[in-house]
Amino acid sequence: MKKNVFVIAFLAIAVLFTNETTAQKFSGLDKSPADIAMYSTKDDGAVVKVVYSRPQLRGRDMAKLAPAGKIWRLGANESTEIRIYKDIMFGDKSVKAGTYTMFAIPGDSEWTIILNKALHTSGSGSYNEANDLVRVKGKVSKGSDFVEALAITFSKTGDMYIGWANTVVTIPVK
């Protein structure tokens, strides 16, 4: 009987300790989780993949997090990465297949979206204009739904949408 009580007490303590250890391991999870947006077609397969982190507003003003007229890493944490599998038209610019980082300069009626050749950069502090591949203008519209966490998606026809708060930026990808 004493042996059973000891075993039960030991298991209870082990479970309690295990839960505490697990909580410690996961307590520092990223507040801006990573996501992937993919554009593919039946005929061409993979065309574009964007890997980015999704900052959340949590009551903050988007204009303070991504100020108008200033370079922004278009996401959180590491710079947003765009992998282009086939030569495309990105906005009105021809872009060869390859991997690039993506930055933005927000504005009221349009955002400038920048594809930059420097990889593995950490935010806009490491941005260097000399590495720009192309700059395109994205049209800004106001969405009817509020988007808490930055989101990037593609339409079936290849338009890339960047949505945050009530702002939607559209870039044609063909």
CA angle 104, 136, 106 (to 5 degrees): 30
Q: Which of 162, 171, 79 minimizes the C-alpha distance to 125?
A: 79
Rounded CA-CA distance 117/131 in Å is 5
DSSP 129: G
pLDDT single digits (tens) 38-56? 999 999 899 999 999 999 9
Indicate the pTM of the whole model.
Answer: 0.82
Strand partners, 135: 114
**Per-residue confidence (pLDDT) for residue 163, from 0 to 100:** 96
pLDDT single digits (tens) 123-149? 777 889 999 999 999 999 998 899 999
Residue 9: pLDDT above 60?
no
**Per-residue confidence (pLDDT) for residue 160, from 0 to 100:** 97
Considering the chain, what is the average pLDDT of its residues? Answer: 88
Rounded CA-CA distance 86/43 in Å is 12
- pLDDT-derived band at 1 (thresholds 50, 70, 90) equals low
Residue 92: pLDDT above 60?
yes
Strand partners, 120: none
Q: Which of 26, 51, 52, 49 minimizes the C-alpha distance to 39?
A: 49
pLDDT single digits (tens) 111-124? 999 999 999 887 77
**Per-residue confidence (pLDDT) for residue 98, from 0 to 100:** 98
**Single-letter amino acid, residue 98:** G
**Residue 160: burial class (beta carbons within 10 Å; 0-12, 13-18, 19+):** buried
Rounded CA-CA distance 147/105 in Å is 19
Rounded CA-CA distance 148/151 in Å is 9
3-state secondary structure of 2: helix
Residue 14: pLDDT above 70?
no
Rounded CA-CA distance 136/97 in Å is 17
The neighbour count for residue 115, using CB atoms within 10 Å, is 22
**Per-residue confidence (pLDDT) for residue 129, from 0 to 100:** 94
